[in-house]
Copies of this chain bind each other. A is one copy, B any other.
């Protein structure tokens, strides 16, 4: 609650603007928001919510979702943000595993809820985030209207006091293997994370900013933006479900957005719209990009054509989620041309509170020279200690969490992801980055998508197989791709073979399913030279 109460007290007249699913653009102040959070907490208490209960959301970024974050957590219960883009079986699994008592849902998710409802074991009702006039027709057996529920709360609710290590939020990772795993966020970890995220070298967020979290609140807490904005008293703009280029451009200009954050896919859509229409980004000054590596061309386009600085960021659901943000030091601020873009392509420097190190397979710490890559381990007050309901800790005896990423660290503290540990190709004692090979391959004009997997090799232990989806109407040969790659990577990195496929399988969140690819190619024989 600390952040929202701070905003209400010190900048209570500042706005929260939401593009709602069905009710147009909604505006109110932090003062009104805080009052409604109290009312919501009171209403939920009257309904029977206890401290520690899990209350789920299936919702876009919007003011009612914000009220749930602060109202539920402020009352000592846990907001469980469910990612509606997960597969149905995953949603069922995590709602049951979390033992959610209520699901608060946007109108977009009626069909999804009807689909999963019969398999939910703990949910007592669905509360739709709308007023009575917009309540959907549904065959769901137990539904409530958010505004009606809220109206039953008291204005005089007093926030309870509890330990700062009380759970406030819950989010499940959607790994590529096994069941999703839950990560509990405490009030303590969220406040510390928000402090670090707001710093000048990270989001650089201040009371004069107008912040637009494009990254959804169900995607790793919208990278903390709904905590950071009230902390600094910034105006907050919530895009609802409208994440297409046209909607975002209009919202950014209309509301005077200065600071935003999202995944590369969203920005591709936005840049395409800008280029097609000749429109601009108004007073936007900083776009934080994470979730996946942003192509250098995207960073260049934002900065050169639209005057918007791009800050590459990296984090994980297990880290609340931020670990690094890319910003210049005194030394790197001097870089120009290729050296500058190479620096900006890195995932950035640890925000204060996070420690990072890289190790070899035996856990020995490796040099911070920007060249050697190793397993990336992190430690800090907002790093997961134990997955929800897990028997074993997620960290080693010294508190280090293995991110599963392979990375380099340089002398200025910049980290760059070079691969996922399980995807790297271990060839003759050296490592080949599947990501670097894939990036090199997709730069070929006849390649639409590429994936690299390791296949066993009698002499080298493993060697890379390149799997390629040809560009539409193209029929590239192995030789022309290999010749192209020879100009891009070290010779010993060249894939031993190339397999052409119509499609590469993806997870619900758009990542390549290498597990499925490995299964498909498990009997594939690499040619022997």
Residues on A lying within 8 angstroms of B by beta carbon are 2-3, 5-6, 9-14, 192, 195-196, 198-201, 204-208, 231-233, 235, 327-331, 333, 349-350, 352-353, 355-356, 368, 411-413
Contacts and interface: CB of A to CB of B under 8 A. Distances in A.
A199 B200 CA distance: 6
A233 B195 CA distance: 16
A4 B413 CA distance: 14
A206 B200 contact: yes
B207 A3 contact: no
Nearest to A349: B10
Contacts of A330: 14, 207-208, 235
Q: How many copies of this chain are found per oligomer?
A: 2
Given A13-B411, A327-B207, A412-B10, A352 B231 contact: yes
Shortest 3 CB-CB distances between A and B: which pairs?
Answer: A10-B413, A200-B206, A195-B195
Contacts of A13: 331, 411-412
A208 B192 CA distance: 23
13 contacts: A3-B352, A9-B355, A10-B413, A11-B349, A13-B411, A14-B330, A195-B199, A198-B200, A199-B232, A201-B206, A208-B328, A233-B329, A235-B330
A204 B195 contact: no
A199 B198 contact: yes
Given A13-B331, A411-B13, A413-B11, A200 B232 contact: yes
A234 B75 CA distance: 39
Contacts of A327: 206-207
Nearest to A205: B200
Contacts of A200: 198-200, 204-206, 232
Nearest to A210: B330
Given A201-B207, A233-B329, A235-B330, 6 more contacts: A14-B330, A195-B196, A199-B206, A200-B204, A200-B205, A201-B233
A297 to B, nearest CB: 26
